[in-house]
Amino acid sequence: MSDLSKFEIFLQELNSIEVQVSAHIELCEELQKRNKELEKKLLNLQKENEYLKMQSAEGGENGERRSDDNHAAVFNSLSSQERENLKVKITEVISKINNHLTSS
């Protein structure tokens, strides 16, 4: 009887190990699939990044001019009174900065 129970215990342990191995195999397959998906996504993002870098380099030259135009448009959209108030405020801020720098 003792030999039979040892054999049964051995079979149970083998079955347990088989279940664990099967679970690990499934997990490994899922991880491999996910890894391939992530590699594809990474490749697409790298391509998109290169494309955006090229666009940025091309647009950088035009972007500075557009920025200056936008600032001028904002300034020109103000009324003469608003412009004067803005100039006064800027002058006050410059004075404060100068006072701070000279007092240091």
Question: What are the pLDDT digits (tens) for 29-63?
Answer: 999 999 999 999 999 999 999 988 888 887 765 55
What string of H, E and C letters represents the secondary structure of the chain?
CHHHHHHHHHHHHHHHHHHHHHHHHHHHHHHHHHHHHHHHHHHHHHHHHHHHHHHHHHHHHHHHHHHHHHHHHHHHHCCHHHHHHHHHHHHHHHHHHHHHHHHC
Q: What is the pLDDT of residue 52?
A: 87
Per residue in 55-88, pLDDT (tens digit) is 888 776 555 556 666 667 776 777 888 888 888 9
Q: Number of folded domains in the chain?
A: 1
pLDDT of residue 67: 62
Within-domain flag for 101? no
Q: If you compute the radius of gyration of the chain from its CA atoms, what whole number of angstroms results?
A: 36
Residue 88 lies in a domain: no
User: What pLDDT score was predicted for residue 76?
Assistant: 74
Q: Does residue 89 fall inside a structural domain?
A: no
52: in domain: yes
* pLDDT value at residue 99: 87
Q: Which domain holds residue 52?
A: 2-78
Q: pTM of the predicted model, to two decimals?
A: 0.46
Residue 90 lies in a domain: no
Is 2 or 36 the better-scoring residue by pLDDT?
36
